[in-house]
Amino acid sequence: MGHREDLLTGAKRCLHEKGYARTTARDIVAASGTNLGSIGYHYGSTQALMNAAMLSSIEDWGDAIGMALATETADESDDPLVRYWRRVLGTLGTHRALWLASVEAMLQSEHSAELKAQIAAGMEQGRRGLAALLTARDEQTLDEPTVRTVGAVSMALMSGVMTQWLTDPEHAPSAEQIAAGIRALSAIPGSA
């Protein structure tokens, strides 16, 4: 691995351990085994490197979530919606740092138009991926209404549930409660 890759790996490690705002250039250098001059040479600034680390972490997070959601596991539930939400909630234990990094990336994007644009592109990809997964269709065959309904609403639910689990796990909904809530919402008159 070269200095550029070492810096990115070190920055991602710092991002997961310390967060975006608390990571310094010296932290990255220590984690990567490189030198301070390498940051400017390869990325231009510490902020640009941290943005790259966030984007790479979000890609990792998206890949991990996609794999977790696409992988069937032995589960006692016959309810596919409950199984789905158990897999989503399971990623909190296995990928907590990535969930937190994605939240921090959203906040930091207010200060970086480039980061905001890249996150928006990633969200579009995420909506499309979720819609494909949930409808069991190839992403290339999806129409925009499916992406804007199934994909966007699934992403919104997932983000909201994870925010609850990250901040107040004692009161966050279980997979069974989420499935029951979704079904109750769909039973509201005029929602069919």
| Cβ atoms of 97 and 53 closer than 8 Å | no
| Cβ atoms of 13 and 7 closer than 8 Å | no
Structural domain contains residue 172: yes
Predicted pLDDT of residue 75: 60
Encoding tokens for residue 141?
């065959």
* Strand, coil or helix: 173: coil
Structural domain contains residue 3: no
Q: How far apart are CA 37 and CA 41, in angstroms?
A: 6
Structural domain contains residue 126: yes
Structural domain contains residue 36: no
Structural domain contains residue 34: no
Q: Could you tell me the CATH number of the domain that includes residue 73?
A: 1.10.357
Q: In tens digits, what is the pLDDT along the chain, a chain of 192 residues? A: 788 999 999 999 998 888 888 899 999 999 999 999 999 999 999 989 998 898 888 778 777 777 777 776 666 668 888 988 998 898 888 878 778 877 888 888 898 888 889 889 888 988 998 899 889 899 999 999 999 999 999 999 999 999 999 999 999 999 999 999 999 998 998 765
- Residue range(s) defining the domain that contains residue 144: 54-186
Structural domain contains residue 27: no
SS (H, E, C) 86-153: HHHHHHHHHCHHHHHHHHHHHHHHHHCHHHHHHHHHHHHHHHHHHHHHHHCCCHHHCCHHHHHHHHHH
What total number of domains does the chain contain?
Answer: 1
In 5-56, DSSP assigns E strands to: none
Please state, as a whole number, how many other Cβ atoms lie within 10 Å of the Cβ of residue 156: 11
Structural domain contains residue 15: no
Measured CA distances, 84 to 21, 87, 95, 125 (Å): 33, 5, 16, 19
Structural domain contains residue 176: yes
Measured CA distances, 47 to 39, 43, 191 (Å): 10, 9, 45
Predicted pLDDT of residue 72: 66
Encoding tokens for residue 26?
């010296």
pTM of the model: 0.76
